[in-house]
Structure 1
Amino acid sequence: MNKATKVLLVIGVMVLILGFYFYLLGTRGVSLIQTGGAVNIGLGIGVILLPIIGVWIVGATLKAGFEHQHLAQRISEEHLELDVSELPRMPSGRISRDAADEMFQQVKAEWEKDPDNWRNSYRLARAYDYAGDRGRARETMKRAVALEREDAA
């Protein structure tokens, strides 16, 4: 069994476990509502909202993960992934901050020349991630996904 299959299996098992948990929460919420009384109905509605929010979060996370994996596969096929193999690393294994910042500046310069190219946005998102700016990495990856969709249409 290869690594990707193992990861998908783990994700599948976790989604099943979460689904069962959400089902249990939902049934408890319905039970609370059926018992009547303002407090029980209020608690029941609150408990029912938890699995609804949970399903939305799981779905959004899986969707984003599959979209990012799709872009990663395309970048790999086009041999455009960032080469970080030679960059100096800290004892933890992370790329040293100075090296990550230097790589980021190079990738940002490429992106500034063509910001509407999804490949440049993908590479910039990865550079943000290596530089430790996870928030900007997520936002830039969302942009790369949107640009790739426009490009494919």
Structure 2
Amino acid sequence: MSLRIGVAVMAALLVLYLFLVTERAVLLLLSGDPLGAGMGAALFALPLIAAWALGRELWFGVRAERLGRLLADEGGMPQEQVAVRPSGRVERTEAEALFPRYRAAVEDSPDDWRAWYRLGLVYDAAGDRRRARAAVRTSIRLQSGRPAT
């Protein structure tokens, strides 16, 4: 629950920031100065890009969490016990040792969203966020009925 609160606080702060930047952009556009108008136009693009990125990340989080709950309800979450550091993070070497098994499951069933989601969890535990997100995105596509790319 604290993660959701953190996400909500960060999203609210970003929305406030976007509002203030948009307000400044409008003032620059209306300044009558050609340089100010150019800067205002450029500054106006930033909130649009940031709002799009925020929406995309929040939507990814909602869909990933929904799949995680679905997989947990089915009893399909990984059950291996791995050592945890005092900080709460998984020992990376132990997470990496699990990787071949979950990668083999994906290779055996490349259209199984559950296998891709579990692979994403193992990548995340090993600290490879880029591959974890890619695996979870593939899982979301497969679960929604779209083919993996």
When normalised by structure 2's length, the TM-score is 0.87
Alignment of 1:41-52 (within 5 A): 41-52=37-48
Looking at structure 2, the residues matched to 90 and 8 of structure 1 have their Cα atoms a distance apart, in angstroms, of 23
Partner of residue 26, structure 1: 22
Looking at structure 1, the residues matched to 129 and 30 of structure 2 have their Cα atoms a distance apart, in angstroms, of 44
Normalised by the size of structure 1, how large is the TM-score?
0.85
* Secondary structure of residue in 1 paired with 2:52: helix
Offset at 1:71?
A: 0.5
| Counterpart position of 2:145 | 150
Alignment of 1:86-125 (within 5 A): 86-125=81-120
CA RMSD of aligned residues (A): 1.9
Shift of 1:17: 3.1
Unaligned runs of 5+ in 1: none
Deviation at 1:42, TM superposition (A): 1.3
Q: Are 1:54 and 2:45 matched, yes or no?
A: no
Residue 97 (structure 1) shift:
2.8
- Once the two structures are TM-superposed, the CA of residue 95 in structure 1 deviates from its matched residue by 2.3
Which runs of no fewer than 5 residues in structure 2 stay unpaired?
none
Offset at residue 135 of structure 1 (A): 0.9
Percent of aligned positions with the same letter in both sequences?
Answer: 32
Residue in structure 2 matching 1:69, options 65, 69, 74:
65
Between stretches 12-21 and 95-104, larger displacement belongs to: 12-21
Post-superposition CA distance 1:89-114 (Å, at most 9, x none):
34443322331112111111111110
Indicate how the Cα distance of structure 1 residues 40 and 126 shifts in structure 2: closer, same or farther if over 3 A, else same.
Answer: same
Aligned residues: 146
User: How many Å apart are 1:43 and its aligned residue?
Assistant: 0.8
User: Closer, same or farther in 2 for the Cα pair 1:10/1:101, shift >3 Å?
Assistant: closer
- CA apart distance, 1:61: 0.9
Q: 1:40 aligns with which of 21, 36, 41?
A: 36
